[in-house]
Homo-oligomer: A and B are copies of this chain.
Amino acid sequence: MAEVSIDDVAARAGVHRSTVSRAFSRPEAVNAATRKHVLEVAESLGYRVNPLAQALRRRASKLVPLIVPDITNPFYGELARTMAAAAADRGYQLVLCVTGGEVAQTNAYLTSLQEMYAPFGIVAPSTTVDLDELQNVALGSKVVVVDRVKQARVPTVTVDSAEGIALAVDHLHGLGHRRIAYVSGISGAYTSRDRLAAYEGLAAELDMPAMILDGGTGPDVGERAAERLVHMTREERPTAVIAANDMVAFALISALGVRGVSVPDEVSVMGFDGLEFGARFNPRLTTVRQPIADMGVIAIDLAEKLLKDGETGHVVLAPDLLIRESTAEVPR
């Protein structure tokens, strides 16, 4: 309670401020015995270094912005959770910044946090964020991008979209599906595009028609795709749908339900993300899982590497398959 400062500790320990400071931040520069004594006194007084004062002098704080378009989406929720843990492990404090998908917001957050001497930032870009523009912002050069294709100028960590889609297509193909459609995504449109490309490639390869139920974005993708599907003739109608991400899959299944189409009895649906919530959907969602927890720690690692060596790494993670109940053998 009684705000104890570095001078209190110094006085009580009979040394100078600077020695106390060094005892904490540059241990090798102070005599072992002195250090031990100082630390004990500090402990007994309940002293903790003031992060603001420290940041001001050092021009480097422990505040790290995590910039996401929409925290309501559990994907970003899970990302935020693991990232917060990873950050805490390294002494950082995550500052959540929700942009609503607006570039201006992203930039505003970035400059605002750079004023607080944030050492770097983590950005999970939305559809509308132009990554090149990030470079113009103060903190722009010290940013790690999550969930985005390899990009030259800043470090990135992503999941291999092609491999993920392959996993999904193979799974469905193995169940006998030959008419597999695709719906693109509410958010993360960059990866959504990758996934779409992967889907089209595989469709060609397997000699299946490429059916894009909806290529748009926004909260109504599921509705539109469902509407489109129910208006197809029996022959042209797909027997399975791959959604660009779990949220789209949920919306699609819901919209199909409203229209009396049952999943997986009439049509199989797969997601992409592997959200924990998928296990509580109705039906439980079969999906391609991204190692979100890994992405969190890797992003922080990349950031620290960037600061230390100026090295901009690009990590591509492998997804895996989570088979639950939203897919079934093709109905005949």
Interface segment, A18-26, A77-85, A305-313, A314-322? A77-85
Size of chain A's interface in residues, with CB distance under 8 A? Answer: 52
Question: How far in angstroms is the closest Cβ of chain B from A291?
Answer: 16
Which residues of A, 59-94, contact B by the 8 Å Cβ criterion? 61, 63, 70-74, 77-78, 80-81, 84-85, 93-94
With A96-B80, A284-B258 as given contacts, are A72 and B115 in contact (CB-CB < 8 Å)?
no
The residue on B at minimum CB distance from A80 is B71
Residue A112, interface by CB 8 Å: yes
**Of B48, B73, B77, which one neighbours A115 at CB under 8 angstroms?**
B48
**Of B53, B98, B282, which one neighbours A253 at CB under 8 angstroms?**
B282
Question: How far in angstroms is the closest Cβ of chain B from A109?
Answer: 9
**Residues of chain B within 8 A of A301, CB atoms compared:** none
Residue A222, interface by CB 8 Å: yes
**Residues of chain B within 8 A of A250, CB atoms compared:** 277, 280-282
Residue A33, interface by CB 8 Å: no
**Residues of chain B within 8 A of A115, CB atoms compared:** 48, 50-52
Question: How far in angstroms is the closest Cβ of chain B from A243?
Answer: 12
Among A95, A98, A112, residue most surrounded by chain B Cβ atoms (within 10 Å): A98
Which residues of A, 93-107, contact B by the 8 Å Cβ criterion? 93-98
Give the complex CA separation of A95 and B64 in angstroms: 10
Residue A251, interface by CB 8 Å: yes
The residue on B at minimum CB distance from A275 is B72
Question: How far in angstroms is the closest Cβ of chain B from A139?
Answer: 11
Residue A198, interface by CB 8 Å: no
Residue A276, interface by CB 8 Å: yes
Give the complex CA separation of A279 and B78 in angstroms: 21
**Residues of chain B within 8 A of A71, CB atoms compared:** 71, 77, 80-81, 84
**Residues of chain B within 8 A of A282, CB atoms compared:** 250, 253-254, 256-257, 263, 281-283
Which residues of A, 1-44, contact B by the 8 Å Cβ criterion? 1
**Residues of chain B within 8 A of A254, CB atoms compared:** 279-284
Q: Which 6 A-B pairs have the closest CB atoms?
A: A96-B96, A257-B282, A72-B77, A251-B280, A254-B282, A254-B280
15 new A-B contacts at CB < 8 Å, known A70-B81, A72-B78, A254-B282 = A52-B52, A52-B55, A63-B95, A71-B77, A72-B74, A74-B77, A80-B96, A80-B98, A81-B98, A93-B95, A250-B280, A254-B280, A254-B284, A255-B280, A281-B282
